[in-house]
Structures are given as C-alpha cells and as structure tokens.
Amino acid sequence: MDAGGSPAADTGLLGPGSFNTNGIGMKDQEGTLAVKLARKAIDAETRDLDIDTFDVPDSFRQKSGAFVTLKTFPGGDLRGCIGYPEPVFPLAESILRAAQGACHDPRFPALRAEELDQVVVEVSVLTPPEELVVAPRQEMPGAVVIGRDGLIVERGAYRGLLLPQVPVEWEWDSTTFLEQACMKAGLTPDMWLDRRTRVLTFQAEIFHEESPYGQIVRERTQ
C-alpha cells in the first residue's frame, strides 16, 4: 500500500505506443517495460537524479493499481514493497510512485545506491479489488484460489494486503492465507470469519528481473 516516497516523476515521459492492455492480459513486452520503468525510478531515487524521459504505450495512461517489490540478490529476502491497490493513478504513475516508495519502505533502511546491483525488481499490476461475499463465512477459503488471488482485509481503521505470489512462496493453503492477511492488518487470525470484516480479492500480472539489471520474465503463480 501507499507508504510515502517521493512524488512521482513528471508524467510528461508518457508517450504514444502500440501496446494495448488493461493490466490483466499484459503482453511480455509490456511487463518488461513496467519493470524497466520501475528500475529507472529506483536508480534515480537512490542517486537523487531526474528520471530520463522515454515513451510508454497508451495503455500505461490507463488507471491501474501496481506494486513494486525489491528483493536481495541472490538471497531473495524482501528489501521493500510498496504499492497502490486501487486504480487511482495511470499505470505508469502508479509504478513510478510505488518504485520510489519501495526505496523508503519504513520496515527497512532506505535503499542506497550501493545496493542497486544487489537487488532485483518485481512489478505486480493489479485488477481492481472486489469484495468477496461468501455465506456462511466458513466456506470462504473455498472461494480463494492460491496463485490467482491476492487478498485485502479491512476492519475499521485496520487494513492488510498480501499479493497473489505470497502464499505460493510460503506454501500456504487458502485458510492460512486468510489468517495471514488478517494478521497483516493487525487483526487476530480468525477475524475473516466475522462478517463485519471486509475481505477483498484481486489478481495481478507479475514480472521480475532474474538478476539485477538482467532478463525480465513473467512470474507463473499457478
């Protein structure tokens, strides 16, 4: 979710293009561009530089949620993850803001320029979240598909989000996934059973670097 970071770079970098996507169903070349855009923003943020202007396709002007995740290489430990679940900004701006924010994830020290060749960049482009309505609540795990769905849990001022790739990486089942999303929100693990707790799902297209500044590939979670 939004955890600060510098304002997005001037979206004057947006230009015409031939791609056509609405997030889900992204072409590989679009995913590659998304990761390159995030990498440029991260490099500029850590070096206190402006982002170079370059063209992006018209589809990147469409509003879409996005998350940028940084992981250490080769260890694979989380180094930062910030994003925007809702489609409030054009995709390019969501990626820029998320990338800049990931450099300042409050859970970690700010990313330093010396670390740029020691982290890999991952971009998740999200569908709009939709509330999951299941009755009785005990049957909710059956409606959550591991590898397809991400989760948002909301209860009053409490809110937690887990991306679709997280339960795959940790080998969770759907019930554990719901419990972990509740704990991410600062709630007790069983709070998803309470009908006053909102549970939302979303899907994502995920692309990442295989190595720092290396080949960019689509992540398969199912």
| C-alpha closest to that of 66 among 202, 214, 210 | 202
CA distance 48 to 55: 22
Structural domains of the chain sorted by starting position, each given as residue range(s) with its CATH number in brackets: 11-127+204-218 (3.30.700.20), 130-202 (3.30.1490.150)
pLDDT higher at 215 or 58: 215
Which whole number is the average pLDDT over 102-130? 97
pLDDT tens, position by position, 145-157: 999 999 999 999 9
Confidence of residue 6 (pLDDT cuts 50, 70, 90): very low
Which whole number is the average pLDDT over 97-111? 97
Query: Can you give the pTM of this predicted structure?
Result: 0.87
Q: Is the pLDDT of residue 73 over 50?
A: yes
The CB density around residue 64, as the number of other CB atoms within 10 Å, is: 28
The DSSP line for 29-96 is HHHHHHHHHHHHHHHHHHHT-PPPP----GGGGSB-EEEEEEEETTT--EEEEEEESS--SBHHHHHH
Question: For residue 1, what pLDDT is reported?
Answer: 60
What is the sign of the dihedral through the CA atoms of 18, 221, 45 and 82? positive
Q: Give the least confident one: 19-23, 41-45, 59-63, 120-124.
A: 19-23
